A and B are shown apart, each in its own frame.
Chain A
Amino acid sequence: MHVHSTTGTRIFNLFNLIVLTLTCAGCLIPFIHIVSLSFSDKAAVMGGLVKLWPVHFTLDPYRYVLERGAFWHAFGMTLERVAIGATLNVVLVIILAYPLSKAGDKLRMRTLYVWIFFFTMLFNGGLIPNYILVKELHLLDTVWALVLPGAVGVFNIVLLLNFFREVPAELEDAAFIDGAGHWRTLWQIYVPVSLPAIATVTLFSIVGHWNAWFDGMIYMKVSHYPLQTYLQSIVIKFDFNTMSPEEAKRLAKLNDRSIKSAQMIVAVIPVLLVYPYLQKYFVSGIRLGSVKG
Chain B
Amino acid sequence: MQKKKAAAAILAAALILGTAACSNGNGNDNGTNANVSNEPADGGTVDIQFGSGADPNAEYMAKLTKKTGETWEDNRWTRLYKEKLGVVTHYKMMYPYNDYNTKLKLAITSDDLPDVFPINDKTDFKQLAEGGAIYEMGPIYDKYASPLLKSIIEAETKSIFDPATFGGKIYGIPQKMPSTNGYSHLWIREDWLKKLNLDRPKTMDDVYDIATAFAKQDPDGNGKADTIGLGLNKDILYSSRGLFWGFGAYPDFWTKDGDDKAVYGTTLDAMKKPLDMLARMYKDGLIDKEFGTKDETKEMESAVSGKLGMFYGPHWLAYSVEKTSDNDKNAKWITIPLPSESADVHIPLDNATDGYLVVSKKFKHPELVVEMLNVYADTMFGDANQFEKFWSEGDIDSLWAMGPVHTLLPSLDLVGHQDIKKAVADNTTDQLKGVAKGFYKSMQDGVTGMSMMFGPTDTPFAFVDQTYPDQVIWSAFSGAPTQTMVTSWSSMGELEATTITAIVQGKEDVDSGFDKFVDSWNKLGGKQITEEVNAPK
Contacts and interface: CB of A to CB of B under 8 A. Distances in A.
Contact of A84 (B18, B29, B99, B320): B18
Nearest to B353: A244
B308 to A, nearest CB: 10
Given A49-B327, A84-B15, A187 B304 contact: no
Contact of A252 (B4, B295, B320, B493): B320
B297 A43 contact: no
Interface of B: 1, 4, 11, 14-15, 18, 21-22, 25-26, 29, 53, 55-57, 59, 62, 94-99, 101-103, 106, 109-110, 112, 120, 177, 181-182, 235, 238, 295-298, 300-302, 304-306, 314, 316-317, 319-320, 323-324, 326-327, 352-355, 493
Contacts of B112: 135
Contacts of A88: 15
Interface stretch (A106-114, A160-168, A235-243, A276-284): A235-243
Contact of A236 (B26, B98, B103, B301): B98
A46 B493 CA distance: 30
A43 B304 contact: yes
Contacts of A252: 316-317, 319-320
B96 A49 contact: no
B26 A245 contact: no
Interface in A68-114: 69-70, 80, 83-84, 87-88, 91
B498 to A, nearest CB: 15
A246 B354 contact: yes
A233 B55 contact: yes
Q: Which of A91, A242, A249, A252 has the most C-beta atoms of chain B within 10 angstroms of its own C-beta?
A: A252
Residue among A188, A245, A254 having the largest count of chain B Cβ atoms under 10 Å: A245
Contact of B25 (A128, A141, A238): A141
Contacts of B57: 70, 222, 230, 233
Interface string A217-243: 110011110000010010010101111
23 contacts: A41-B326, A42-B323, A47-B304, A48-B305, A83-B18, A87-B11, A87-B14, A131-B109, A131-B110, A144-B22, A147-B18, A187-B4, A217-B99, A222-B95, A230-B57, A242-B98, A243-B97, A244-B353, A246-B181, A246-B352, A249-B316, A253-B316, A257-B297
B21 A80 contact: yes
B452 to A, nearest CB: 13
Interface string A133-165: 001001001111001000000000000000000
B316 A128 contact: no
A44 interface: yes
Contacts of A141: 25, 29
A132 interface: yes
A143 B21 contact: yes
A247 interface: yes
A128 B109 contact: yes
A224 B235 contact: no
A50 to B, nearest CB: 10
Contact of B110 (A46, A128, A142, A144): A128
Which of A47, A48, A147, A236: most chain B CB closer than 10 A? A47
B59 A254 contact: yes
B14 A47 contact: no
Q: Which 8 A-B pairs have the closest CB atoms?
A: A48-B301, A43-B326, A47-B305, A70-B57, A47-B304, A245-B181, A84-B18, A43-B323
Contacts of A43: 304, 323, 326-327
A242 B97 CA distance: 10
A43 B306 CA distance: 11
Contacts of A222: 55-57, 94-96, 99
Given A42-B323, A88-B15, A47 B306 contact: yes
Contacts of B320: 46, 252, 255
Nearest to B65: A69
B295 A245 contact: no
A91 B11 contact: yes
B102 A217 contact: yes
Contacts of A218: 102-103, 106
Contact of A80 (B18, B102, B302): B18
A217 to B, nearest CB: 6
Contact of A142 (B15, B26, B295, B304): B26
B14 A84 contact: yes
Nearest to A67: B62
Contacts of A247: 53, 97
Given A47-B323, A252-B320, 9 more contacts: A43-B323, A83-B14, A131-B106, A143-B25, A217-B103, A222-B57, A222-B99, A224-B25, A241-B493
Contacts of A80: 18, 21
Nearest to B101: A242
A5 B14 CA distance: 55
Contacts of B102: 217-218
Contacts of A233: 55, 57, 96, 98-99
